[in-house]
Amino acid sequence: MRYAALLFLALPFLISCNQTQPPAAVEPLPADRQLKWHELEFYAFVHFNMNTFTDIEWGTGGESPELFNPTELDCRQWASVCKEAGMKGIILTAKHHDGFCLWPSEYTEHSVKNSPWKDGKGDVVRELADACQEYGLKLGLYLSPWDRNHAEYGTDAYLSYFRKQLAELMSNYGEVFEVWFDGANGGTGWYGGANEERRVDRKTYYDWPNTRQIVRDLQPDAVMFSDAGPGVRWVGNEAGWAGETNWSMIRRDEFYPGSPNYKELTTGQEDGTHWVPAEVDVSIRPGWYYHHSEDHKVHSVKKLVDIYYNSIGRNASFLLNFPVDMRGLIHENDVEHLMKMVEVIRSDMETDLARNTNVRASQVRGDSRKFSAGKAVDGDPDTYWATDDEVTSASLTINFEEETTFNRFLVQEYIPLGQRVKKFSIEAWMNGAWEEIDAQTTIGAKRILRFDNVNSDKLRLNILDSKASPIISNVEVYHAPKLLEPPVIERDKQGLVTMEAHDGGLEIHYTLDGSDPSGNSKTYDGPIEFKESGTVRAVAFDPESELSSEIASLNFDICKELWRVILPDPRKDFRGGAMIDSDERTIWRSDRQDSLPKEVVIDLGEILELSGFTYLPTQQRYIDGTVSHYQFFGSMDGKQWDDPVSQGEFSNIRNSPILQMKPFEVTSARYIKFVAEKEINNQGFVTVAELGIITK
């Protein structure tokens, strides 16, 4: 009887558990193929094609297949790098706008079959497909709709050709997880020798419904990317970030297959009619294709870490491009920065402080264990905390049981039932009250917040507004270590040195005598006057872990406080000061109409003993205007100029546009003259980021 009575008392609870139904879906919903895509999060783009060998971003289409000849092509190296970095797939530019095909297409001669690589017997797509299979990676393919090589581009005959090539790729290389269609369509091109401009209506020319059906028939699990889907959308920029507000939905028919309202692709649309999530595509260098001149411009570790948090951490995927070099390998510099970024992220997410903690919710759907607060911290992506249908604002509190330090918060919605949350915040229990740490809008597949260290024994997630009952499948909390990258050291024209650490809460210790800094060296607390020549060295120091970064070191000559530009005439060219402002981000550019040689004259403000000069070419993406041949003079009065103290060529500056240092025999001068005799691309103008001197 006693057990029967207990069963009778428990019966309402058991019935409640059994009868409580999941929340109704809030449409639009992701397709199964899109759910699989969401799980990938981080994967690679490889831009490797004819442009790699012509050193340009967009080929014209008239390039000879004989130019394509990698010396060490190794798709297994690509796959190995990506696998080690935790990437889940690789998307290859099988055909870019120039029309050159990385597989021996049956329908064109403009392909690897007419290149010297492997005597025309090679197939890059096949080698990558095999490497992906070996390393457990997904294969994706980029096929440019625009073809600047094909003689019939713009006609119905080309559309048939394009579809046949698409079918080749979809049929012969195994499973494809994503098909990439670029939004660039129509313009000037070789077009079989016509060398003309051809325009098409990209909304109608490709008959996209029937063209896409080829993918759907042959690769039913593949998602298709374009400016607005239909499976995955462009994020609206190539800088590496999604909007802080980022809905996975858009009103697709207003965008596809192209819309001038690209800014809305960054945020998505709350009232979107279709599930078309954002993909953040960004290159690890300024360019998408390999350029030797960008070997020193690989994004910093901090930049890459920021991209990770601003893509995956904002309900998007992270598609990181590697411009494979002329050897056919991912360059060593790219690999180094990638692995350092991955090490930082893995360290940031090493220990989940919320896993299996004591969690309670302000409201649970039907008071059922099936939807309890604990489901958000159980590590199972298929379980979730949910509220009753009429409850669109609720909270979930994590009790750490003891004071805990944290600075990362990760939260995910159960997106198979739709994206719901419109606004949320997180709070910590501090000094006997709840204090807000951050407040944001959307969550979606994954949202990660970064903030300064917080010490508390309780953390609360507040769903402030939701389209329907919120469904939270996962909450994670981390204490990420500080990013110990070397500090950034700069000096302005007036001789003030500033230093900046890459992360908050770090100390900077420095020396001004060239010696190695340590924790006992001076602590940076503001700009330092350092007008003379010498070396500034600094480290970032974390008092919490007592660890230091590698040393940052910068050599300075005397500051340019007294300098002024005489030529070009500052009354006519106010930009001239950019070449002596001690800021490499600004450049002086001569007028295009000016003929070369072009002279620059600078008054140093005092007589100095000179033993050399420096020229820093533009550090911006496009390096037209970079000086290749020069003369350099010194003068006491700015009127009498004897023979040049230095003249010649900046060797290899086209491929390596870094600071050029030219020593010469010691000479006294107050005025200097720099003559730009030639420019690397014969563009009729020259650029200077900085001119400097080397004193005795």
Q: What is the pLDDT of residues 372-401, one digit of tens each?
A: 999 999 999 999 999 999 999 999 999 998
Q: Which residue has the tokens 């449409």?
A: 27
- Domain 358-478 is of which CATH architecture? Sandwich (2.60)
- Kindly tell me if the per-residue pLDDT of 51 is higher than 80: yes
What pLDDT score does 258 carry?
Answer: 62
From residue 423, alpha-carbon distances to 118, 428, 662 in Å are 57, 18, 58
From residue 60, alpha-carbon distances to 196, 600, 646 in Å are 11, 36, 40
What percentage of the chain reaches a pLDDT higher than 70? 96
What pLDDT score does 594 carry?
Answer: 64
Average pLDDT estimate for 163-187: 96
What pLDDT, in 10s, does the model give residues 216-226? 999 999 999 99
pLDDT confidence band for 25 (50 / 70 / 90): very high
What is the end-to-end Cα distance of the chain in Å, rounded? 103
Q: Residue 34: enclosing H or E segment and its boundaries?
A: helix 32-40
- Kindly tell me if the per-residue pLDDT of 534 is higher than 50: yes
Average pLDDT estimate for 317-333: 98
What pLDDT score does 377 carry?
Answer: 97
- Kindly tell me if the per-residue pLDDT of 336 is higher than 60: yes
What pLDDT score does 505 carry?
Answer: 87
**pTM of the entire structure?**
0.91
> Residue 399: beta bridge partners?
358, 458
- Kindly tell me if the per-residue pLDDT of 133 is higher than 50: yes
**Residue 624 neighbours by CB under 8 Å, 6+ apart:** 679, 680, 681, 683, 685, 687
What pLDDT score does 593 carry?
Answer: 66
Return mean pLDDT, the chain: 94
Distance of alpha carbon 673 from alpha carbon 666, whole angstroms = 16
pLDDT confidence band for 13 (50 / 70 / 90): very low
CA dihedral 23, 24, 29, 31 (to 10 degrees): 80
Paired sense of beta strands 534-542 and 507-511, if any: antiparallel
Closest CA to 40 of 254, 279, 348, 379: 279
Average pLDDT estimate for 164-179: 98
Average pLDDT estimate for 472-486: 96
Q: Name which residue leads in pLDDT, 12 or 362.
A: 362
**Residue 643 neighbours by CB under 8 Å, 6+ apart:** 633
pLDDT confidence band for 572 (50 / 70 / 90): confident
Q: Do domains 358-478 and 564-695 have the same CATH topology?
A: yes
What pLDDT score does 639 carry?
Answer: 95
What pLDDT, in 10s, does the model give residues 228-245? 899 999 999 999 999 999
Distance of alpha carbon 73 from alpha carbon 128, whole angstroms = 10
Average pLDDT estimate for 423-442: 97
- Kindly tell me if the per-residue pLDDT of 515 is higher than 60: yes
- Domain 564-695 is of which CATH architecture? Sandwich (2.60)
- Kindly tell me if the per-residue pLDDT of 227 is higher than 70: yes
Which CATH code, of 3.40.50.2300, 3.40.50.720, 3.20.20.80, 3.40.50.1000, is assigned to 32-348? 3.20.20.80
Every domain of the chain and the residues it spans: 32-348, 358-478, 488-556, 564-695
Average pLDDT estimate for 265-276: 97
What pLDDT score does 621 carry?
Answer: 83
- Alpha helix ranges (H) inside 62-193: 75-84, 124-135, 156-172
Topology of domain 488-556, CATH: Immunoglobulin-like (2.60.40)
For residue 138 the two structure tokens come to 């997904």
Average pLDDT estimate for 514-520: 92
Using left for φ > 0, alpha for ψ between -120 and 50, and beta otherwise, residue 119 falls in left
pLDDT confidence band for 595 (50 / 70 / 90): confident
- Kindly tell me if the per-residue pLDDT of 148 is higher than 70: yes
- Kindly tell me if the per-residue pLDDT of 528 is higher than 80: yes
- Kindly tell me if the per-residue pLDDT of 5 is higher than 90: no
What pLDDT score does 12 carry?
Answer: 47
What pLDDT, in 10s, does the model give residues 651-694? 989 888 999 999 999 999 999 999 999 999 988 899 999 999 99
